[in-house]
Chains A and B, each alone.
Chain A
Amino acid sequence: GAGVSQSPSNKVTEKGKDVELRCDPISGHTALYWYRQSLGQGLEFLIYFQGNSAPDKSGLPSDRFSAERTGGSVSTLTIQRTQQEDSAVYLCASSVQFGEETQYFGPGTRLLVL
């Protein structure tokens, strides 16, 4: 595709429900990153993938958060038993390979937990 795409663009859910957020990176990009952007805050790094491997999961806020990437392309960020503090914009970015300083961001998924 022309750029990084994310779906859904908006998600409203009830506290306690599980949500899945999807990211389609730029074709050919092997590195993929997830960030969380809360109101008035900067971008908080969550996790990155090099291929299908996620070497560092320490940025995930809690064990309710998990992510996977299959086929070296699409990635899914799953939040289980959502809490109101999970409300934020979840951004995905990709780069040609890990170590490339330029990351290309998607438009984000705006998650609201009621």
Chain B
Amino acid sequence: AQTVTQSQPEMSVQEAETVTLSCTYDTSESDYYLFWYKQPPSRQMILVIRQEAYKQQNATENRFSVNFQKAAKSFSLKISDSQLGDAAMYFCAYRSSSGGTASKLTFGTGTRLQVTL
């Protein structure tokens, strides 16, 4: 079974600075999808960024980028120019590319990010 590990329960960053959230996963599959979701105090989870394992290029969405290291099974999220609105819980998630019951997302336990002035 796949597992997703987020080893940083809490992180803090100053406004305008850069922060990196770590995520590692365990799988025997070669084709899969990886995601970062953000859950602000409103509780609504929002997709931040998505990476397909067969793509070598790291995904980027404005100030958010990932460092995808397939051999190391590592998928870290970098937030540049941090803003107060980035304060939230961030969840890393894995999804198999095969169908059936393996199509569900496997989430990590989350990293709470604080943004300070």
Q: Do A and B bind each other?
A: no
Task: Using CB atoms and an 8 Å cutoff, list the residues of chain A in contact with chain B.
Answer: none
Binding site for A on B (CB under 8 A): none
